[in-house]
Amino acid sequence: MTTSTEHDIKVLNSLIETTIDSAEGYGEAAKDAENTRYSAQFQSRAAERRQVTQTLQQQVRSLGGTPEDDGTVLAKAHRMFVELRAKMSSKDDTAIVDEVERGEDHIKAKYEDAMKDQDLSAGTRTLIGQAYASVKTGHDQMRDLKHALHGTN
């Protein structure tokens, strides 16, 4: 494996972990949401993130690497904290959307950083750009929903 290929695999696997975290976060949000409209949106985003994960994993395989298949330890700890907090207090849809939107800020920034990485091969950068389009759409949707729930612009 070349250094460039190894770098591509490392960056892709990092994005895979974050995207898995996002899919799992959306899944948890779908379970917790009181409004079925939000629950359906969250389920749809979770499915979309799983599809992005599969695409990135396929690229890692095509580069000769082993794709990540699990999220990050930090995200697991965060989900446990969120679950504990939810059990200790009633969590309304606004609080759930706030949490989801916070996660969206993180994944969006991570993809933006990856797209600036000049050491990536052109093919990998193109694939990340395509995945980013989905991530940005999800981010913007949750940002707009958050603003609507808070009555801000």
Q: What is the pLDDT of residues 78-120, one digit of tens each?
A: 555 555 555 445 568 888 888 888 889 999 999 999 999 999 9
Helix (H, G, I), strand (E, B) or coil at 148: helix
Give the pLDDT score at 24: 87
Give the pLDDT score at 152: 79
Give the residues of the chain that fall short of pLDDT 70.
1, 71-91, 153
Give the pLDDT score at 88: 42
Angle made by CA atoms 31, 33, 38, in degrees to the nearest 5: 110
Indicate the fold that domain 3-150 takes in CATH: Ferritin (1.20.1260)
Domain boundaries, the chain: 3-150
Give the pLDDT score at 81: 54
The answer to whether residues 19 and 56 touch, using CB atoms and an 8 Å cutoff, is yes
Burial of residue 36 (CB within 10 Å: 0-12, 13-18, 19+) is exposed
